[in-house]
Amino acid sequence: MVILDAILIVAAIYLAYSLRYHIITPNNPFIEGLKNQLFGYTYLADDRAAPHFSDYWFLITGVPIGLIIIFASRRLYNIRLTGNWFQQVWTIISSVTIGIAFLITIYFFFVNPNVVTNEGFILPNSRLLVPFIWASAIIVLCLGRLVVSGIMGVLYRMGLGETRVLVVGSGRLGKMVMQCLAASPNLGYSVVGFLHDLNGTPGDFGRFKMLGTIDDIGLVIRSMQVDEVIIALPSDMNKYALHSVKLCEHLGASFKLIPDIYELNLSRIDIENIEGIPLLGIKQISLNTPQRIVTRSIDISISLIFLLIGSLVFLSIALAVKLSSPGPIIYKQERVGLDGRHFKMLKFRSMYKDADQRLAQLEKFNEAQGPIFKMKEDPRVTPVGRFIRRTSLDEIPQFFNVLKGEMSLVGPRPPLPREVAQYKEWQKARLSIKPGLTGLWQVRGRSNISFDEGVLMDIYYIENWSLRLYIQTLLRTIPAVLFSRGAY
């Protein structure tokens, strides 16, 4: 990346040079008038006046070296290429700005403002080139990072260059770690499985395989060719965590240790440092009044825009539902919302009108774990219903639930009362926020994910709520719907 950045910076300087001397031509009266006002001169309208690119050898050599030193000092090369593009962009923008500030200082105070060409023309040493270099460097470097990140993401998804990860811990923390890694395959982590931490009943967790207990860590690292170990054990098992660390060091496997501080999510921990002493505090994550106003405004605005723009399509769906089978167009179903309050959730009817009565006959064919019912080839679904369910068009009337304030655009999907009645105590936490049209469970696999795993995703969203996560989930819904991942 250092070599690539050097090449990209030189390319950015050449782009700035081309903009300054060839694209923004001296025959442009507006540019010439502006330069005359700002700098007190008019550029000579003669192509011979333009210096050669090689004349800027001090920029071609000095700027790449300076910027790379700044990048290295600000730990840009320690950021993982995939998954942290915005962090890289911010580091690039701030670093280039710092570098250009130094360049401006040198340019204005130490470089002769005029040079004489071989042809005898007196030319200004273009200070206008400096902002061009600043803008070009940011754009070129950010695009370069984006391309590299995309290429690496594609290679990772193909299984090339992946980091094989073993998670030590089967508790809530370990499960959330596995879900986050699996939800972002472009990061290049492949979860080979996890080790049971002796708490609770041993067994697989959805798509993640249990490979043994924590006593088997050495055997599993050798046999599964593990590259990295993530130790996510509860706080009462610190001695096992230290033992795992020593084994990793002995076997040459890299490791990451996630401390379980009173079962708090690590994103809530605020760390300060006073004379080398770390002080840990807890960030408040509950939605305050301004956050509620912002999210509610977004909910109402997007719902109204969506309903108005798509009104003709929605009327067509309603007509298709009405003509395909007898029964109402809109199906009203009682669901459980915020703090256990019941409400009528709206959907375009996708099943025959006797669907609820036939449910008991189909319970034995349930393909889902937990209290929910899912059946891929459900005979109660109409032909039109099969299409609108796969494309999520049946959910459109729920925008009216959003307008009424019963739902939000993002949140856990509202469960049925009979499902809530079977919830374990920890699963009821998903009722502590307003239900949504979409959520992490939906964008990360929908019906392809087990119930317990999906509930953990909902709880993760609740405990880590932020406006950024809200918008991110909303945007990730678009490809999830377009590609119908896990929908049936």
Q: Confirm whether 488 is domain-assigned.
A: no
Residues 29 and 153 in one domain: yes
Q: What is the reported pLDDT for 116?
A: 47
Q: What does the pLDDT read at residue 157?
A: 78
Cβ-Cβ contacts under 8 Å for 462 (sequence gap 6 or more): 412, 429, 430, 432, 433
Among candidate residues 265, 282, 299, the one where a domain is terminated: 282
Question: What amino acid occupies position 75?
Answer: R
Q: Considering the domain boundaries, does residue 398 fall inside one?
A: yes
The pLDDT tens digits of the residues spanning 143-176 come to 998 898 888 888 887 878 888 899 998 887 888 8
142 and 195 within one domain: no
> Please, which pLDDT band fits residue 384 given cuts at 50, 70 and 90?
very high
Q: Is 108 left (phi over 0), alpha (psi -120 to 50) or beta?
A: alpha
CB atoms within 10 A of CB 328: 11
Chain mean pLDDT for the chain = 81
- 152 with 167, same domain: the answer is no
* CB atoms inside a 10 Å sphere around CB 31: 14
Per-residue pLDDT, 288:
62
Same domain, 362 and 267: no
Residue 17 resides in a domain: yes
Boundary of a domain, candidates 104, 134, 157:
157
- What's the structural domain count of the chain? 3
Find, among 185, 187, 203, 207, the residue nearest to 195 by Cα.
Answer: 203
Q: Are residues 272 and 390 in the same domain?
A: no
Of 228, 250, 282, the one marking the end of a domain is 282
Give the span between the Cα atoms of 215 and 244, in whole angstroms. Answer: 9
Residues ≥6 apart with Cβ < 8 Å to 287: 295, 433, 465
Give pLDDT, residue 83: 67
Say if residue 70 is in the same domain as residue 91: yes
pLDDT digits (tens, 9 = 90+) for 349-369: 999 988 888 888 888 887 777
Residue 441 lies in a domain: yes
The C-alpha atoms of residue 146 and residue 68 are separated, in whole angstroms, by: 18
Distance separating alpha carbons of residues 302 and 282, to the nearest angstrom: 33
Query: Do 187 and 295 share a structural domain?
Result: no
- Residue 278 pLDDT > 50: yes
In a domain, 212, yes or no: yes
* pLDDT 10s digits, 436-457: 999 888 887 665 677 877 888 8
347 in the same domain as 475? yes
Tell me the per-residue pLDDT of 122-150, one tens digit each, with 9 for 90 and over. Answer: 444 566 778 888 999 999 999 998 898 88
Alpha-carbon distance of 285 to 307, in angstroms, equals 32
Q: Is 134 helix (H, G, I), strand (E, B) or coil?
A: helix
Per residue in 34-72, pLDDT (tens digit) is 666 655 555 544 444 567 787 778 888 888 999 999 999
Q: Do 260 and 311 lie in a common domain?
A: no
pLDDT on residue 486: 53
pLDDT in tens, 216-252: 888 998 888 888 899 888 877 878 888 888 888 888 8
Domain span including residue 424? 289-482
192 in Cβ contact with 226 (< 8 Å)? yes
Angle (nearest 5°) at CA 251 between 193 and 235: 60
| 95 belongs to a structural domain | yes
